Structure formats: structure tokens, C-alpha cells
Amino acid sequence: MKEFIKDIIIALVIVLAITLVIKPTIVKESSMEPTLYENNYLFVNKLAYVTKDHPDYGDIIIFNSDVKKDDGSGNKILIKRVIGVENDVMSIYDGNVYRNGVQLEEDYTLEGYTTGELYDYVVPENEVFVMGDNRSVSLDSRSAEVGAVSEDDIIGKAFFRLYPFSEIGLL
């Protein structure tokens, strides 16, 4: 009996440690297609930015937003790709995204072009500029409703897709 209790305690400690570091997440919308699809099951590293200063270009992050849920039960948690970091100058025109005057090569986008226009937006300190990969439907930093995302609002970095099993692996 003593061994059984010891095994249960060890299992609980492992589960607790994992839940402090990893957040399971289900993609709810299509704004990250073709990289992520609705109902993809992901693991998010909640400590990704504890050991380093800031997110990197291309990181896929989840964050708390001010966007209200359709049912009025609170605010949405969004998932987007980091396109710009603090002090970057972001511009969008002619279907292209420019960071510090250099056009980005974005082969991960669904359409191959970006809608909307933005000129010489400087990303504030400790904030990131994020966009979905499915630019025509993504509510992201191009919108005043989302804007630049404070690093304090970042929950973590998506790093692993568990489902669908045919696409299991690192992101």
C-alpha cells in the first residue's frame, strides 16, 4: 500500500509540473491556415519567454486579447504569428508586409498577399506585432481592436501539434 501511495504522489507531482509549464490548446478559428487548422490540438510552452527576453520573429504565440467572445462570456485568447518586435517599423501596402523597410518573404501565408494598409507603425517597447497566416480573415495587429500585443499578455509559445495525428510534430 505504501508503494501505491508513493506512485500516486509521484504521478501527481509530474502532472502538476507539466501543467505549470505546458498549456494544451485547441485552435478554434481559421486565422492561422494553412499552418494551423480549426480543431488542431496544440501544446503551448508557458515558460518560453521566462528564460529569454522577448519573442522572436515567426514564433506562434497565444495571448489574452481585449476582443470579446461572441457569447459575451469574456475575452478571446488569440493565436497569431510574431511579425514584428519592439522598435520595428511595420508597413503594409501593395499586398506586402515590410519590416524596417525590407519586404518579408512570407511563404506560410494562405493567400500569398496581405490585405490592408499600414505605414511606418513603430512597435512599442515590450510589445509585438502579430498577424494570422490567413490574412483575409485574421483579426490581428492590423486592427485597432487587437493592436500590438503587450508581452505581459502572452500566455506562451505554441511548439507542438498533437492532433490531427497525421500532422503530429513540432511547429
pLDDT digits (tens, 9 = 90+) for 124-134: 999 999 999 99
In sequence order, the 6+-apart residues with CB closer than 8 A to the CB of 75 are 64, 65, 66, 67, 68, 69
Q: Grid coordinates 522577448 are at which residue?
A: 54
Q: How far is CA 121 from the centre of its chain?
A: 20
Instruction: State which H helix or E strand residue 120 sits in.
Output: strand 118-122
Other CB atoms within a 10 A radius of the CB of residue 106 amount to 18
Find residue 157's DSSP bridge partners.
45, 61
Q: Is residue 128 part of a domain?
A: yes
pLDDT digits (tens, 9 = 90+) for 158-171: 999 999 999 999 99
- The CATH number covering residue 61 comes to 2.10.109.10
pLDDT-based confidence at residue 42 (cuts at 50, 70, 90): very high
| pLDDT average, residue stretch 54-59 | 95
What is the pLDDT, as a whole number, of residue 115? 94
Task: Tell whether 59 is covered by a domain.
Answer: yes
How many structural domains does the chain have?
A: 1
The secondary structure of residue 56, as a DSSP letter, is P
**Distance between CA atoms of residues 140 and 161, nearest Å:** 22
pLDDT value at 71 more than 80: yes
Does residue 6 sit within a domain?
A: no
Provide mean pLDDT across the span 147-157: 96
Question: Is residue 4 assigned to a domain?
Answer: no
70, pLDDT greater than 90: no
Please identify which residue in the block is written with the cell numbers 506586402: 96
pLDDT of residue 149: 98
Q: Is the pLDDT of residue 123 over 90?
A: yes
Active site residues: 31, 80
Of 88, 90, 79, 149, which Cα lies nearest the Cα of 114?
A: 90
The mean per-residue pLDDT over the stretch 35-55 comes to 91
Whether residue 67 is predicted with pLDDT greater than 80 in this model: the reply is yes
Asked if residue 2 belongs to a domain, the reply is no
Whether 120 has a pLDDT exceeding 90, the answer reads yes
| Confidence band, pLDDT 50/70/90 cuts, at residue 72 | confident
Inside any domain, residue 9: no
Residues of the domain holding 122? 24-170
Q: Which three cell numbers stand for residue 134?
A: 490567413
Contact 97, 118 (CB under 8 A): no
Q: Is 32 domain-assigned?
A: yes
In a domain, 3, yes or no: no
